[in-house]
Amino acid sequence: MEFDPSEDQAAFRDVVRKFARTELAPGYLERAKSESFPWAEHRAIAGLGVLGMLAGPERNPQGVEDYVAAGLVVEELAYADFNLANAVIPVFLMTSLIARHAGPDLREQWLEPLVTGQAYVALGLTEPDAGSDVTAIRTTATVDGDDYVIRGEKTSVTMLAHSDAILLVANTVRDGTSVGVSTFLVPLDLPDIGKAPIADTGWLPMGRGVLHLDGVRVPASALVGAEGAAFRSVLGGFDFTRPLLALTGIGCAQASVDETAEYLRSRRAFGAPLSRFEGASFVLAEHATQLEAARLLCYSTLWRRSVGKPHTALAAMTKWYGPQEASKAVHDCLLLHGNFGYSAEFPFEQRMRDVLAVEIADGTAQIQKIIIARELFGPDFVPYDRSRR
């Protein structure tokens, strides 16, 4: 077994680390409290070659599709700015799905702008009555001549406020009969589209919103992948976005732990620096341990994806364990800063609200545990029988 990154991976990580800690970290708090999306910083990240990493060989500066390197990048970005790191992950998902499953027109139109940070494509899966149970979605795409006409509502769409298009899933109806759930790339400037913002507790630059589609007409070329094949392509992508989301929590929590270690060294109580008291230092030691365990789980999952080994259960493990541990670590770091930690001038309360997002997005802990049980122990461990519903 080899646990160190390769020379190339480490070199790219170091470039991103230097950029993130000098250029991004100082402005995190101010950006995190604003609803504007930091396009300049996102494009600067694009300028490092990050956004093309999973966009196919022509646009990938690394040459090879390396999910471990993608993990190293998002962890480094999240150490400095959790939200900017999370804005990278949908780009990875979209470029990967478009490069693999879209036709030449869509590839030509969207890949380059996504990779250079000039455009953004959101993901529309969740609906008001269908989140964890994605198979319950009600949005329809009805075939009408050479077009599809889409009706329905998507909610909780990250970056909706700032996106140019959305990749959404819809039940596809042909000649009055459902032919399964398909994926469509829908520009957001089409007629019959309505958007409304969601007032969030954190994740503010990420412009989450609700999308109404009231008979939106798209050509057949908007279809991404085969009709009825949406769940295989989009949900397969979650097997790499889950460890990446977990790593954003881990990066953000690691920054909190490192800052708190510095603070304990300098803050004195009862005649000594707080770092001398095990009641304080053991809290950091325990979080450092758990973050390292979560991190190893993420990188082993990403490595398995890179080499084509099964990793669905591991991906689900990273997604409940990593964000949960990250949230706990940030919470304890806030407490170890005493009254200062509670102040909005320190980053901890902001990070707590931001990190909560990855406990829910891409599936909650309960849903990950259902996936783990199903993958490891078989269908008897799925907690419902769909045929009886």
Binding positions for ligand FAD, 143-182, rule CB under 6 A: 156-158
Task: Please report how close the Cβ of residue 225 comes to ligand FAD at its closest, in angstroms.
Answer: 17
Q: Is residue 323 a contact residue for ligand FAD (CB under 6 A)?
A: no
In the 3-class helix/strand/coil scheme, how is the chain assigned residue by residue?
CCCCCCHHHHHHHHHHHHHHHHHHHHHHHHHHCCCCCCHHHHHHHHHCCCCCCCCCCCCCCCCCCCHHHHHHHHHHHHHHCHHHHHHHHHHHHHHHHHHHHCCHHHHHHHHHHHHCCCCCEEEECCECCECCCHHHCCCEEEEECCEEEEEEEEEEECCHHHCCEEEEEEEEEECCEEEEEEEEEEECCCCCEEEEECCCCCCHHHCCEEEEEEEEEEEHHHEECCCCCHHHHHHHHHHHHHHHHHHHHHHHHHHHHHHHHHHHHHCEECCEEHHHCHHHHHHHHHHHHHHHHHHHHHHHHHHHHHHCCCCHHHHHHHHHHHHHHHHHHHHHHHHHCHHHHCCCCCCHHHHHHHHHHHHHCCCCHHHHHHHHHHHHHCHHHCCCCHHHC
Confirm if 138 and 163 have CB atoms less than 8 A apart. no
If binding is defined by CB under 6 A, does position 32 make contact with ligand FAD?
A: no
How far apart are CB 374 and ligand FAD at their closest, in Å?
11
In the complex, least distance from residue 210 CB atom to ligand FAD, rounded to whole angstroms:
11
> Does 183 contact ligand FAD by CB under 6 A?
no
357 scored as a contact of ligand FAD (CB under 6 A): yes
With CB under 6 A as the contact rule, which of the stretches 113-121, 124-132, 140-148, 296-304 interacts with ligand FAD? 124-132
- Pick 11 or 136: Cβ nearer ligand FAD: 136
As beta bridge partners, residue 326 has: none
Residue 347 binds ligand FAD (CB under 6 A)? no
Looking from the CA of 247 toward its CB, the CA atoms found within 13 Å total 28
What is the C-alpha R_g of the chain?
A: 21
Instruction: From 76-84, 143-151, 247-255, 358-366, give the range in contact with ligand FAD by CB under 6 A.
Output: 358-366
Closer CB to ligand FAD, residue 242 or residue 331?
Answer: 242
123 binds ligand FAD (CB under 6 A): yes
What is the nearest approach in angstroms of ligand FAD to the Cβ of residue 320? 10
Regarding 373 and contact with ligand FAD (CB under 6 A), the answer is: no
Site for ligand FAD in 79-118 (CB under 6 A): none
β-bridge partners, 334: none
Residue 221-260 contact track with ligand FAD, rule CB under 6 A, x = bound: ----------------------------------------
Q: Which CB atom, from 60 or from 158, has the smaller least distance to ligand FAD?
A: 158
Stretch binding ligand FAD (CB under 6 A), from 13-21, 33-41, 77-85, 121-129: 121-129
Choice between 158 and 172, CB closer to ligand FAD: 158
> Is the CB of 333 or the CB of 367 nearer to ligand FAD?
367
Least distance CB 202 / ligand FAD (angstroms)? 8
What is the number of the residue whose Cβ is closest to ligand FAD?
131
CB atoms within 10 A of CB 219: 11
- Pick one of 14, 214, 366, 377: the residue that binds ligand FAD (CB under 6 A): 366
- Considering CB under 6 A, how many residues would be counted as binding ligand FAD? 21
* Residue closer to ligand FAD, measured from CB, 137 or 284: 137
Of 143, 288, 360, 373, the residue at the interface with ligand FAD (CB under 6 A) is 360
The sign of the torsion formed by the CA atoms of 203, 207, 210, 213 equals negative
**Residue among 123 and 247 whose Cβ is closer to ligand FAD:** 123
Question: Which of 60, 126, 171, 248 forms a contact with ligand FAD (CB under 6 A)?
Answer: 126
Residue 129 contacts residue 138 (beta carbons within 8 Å): yes
What's the rounded Cα separation, in Å, for the pair 323 and 355? Answer: 7
The site for ligand FAD (CB under 6 A) is made up of: 122-126, 131-132, 156-158, 203, 208, 357, 360-364, 366-367, 383
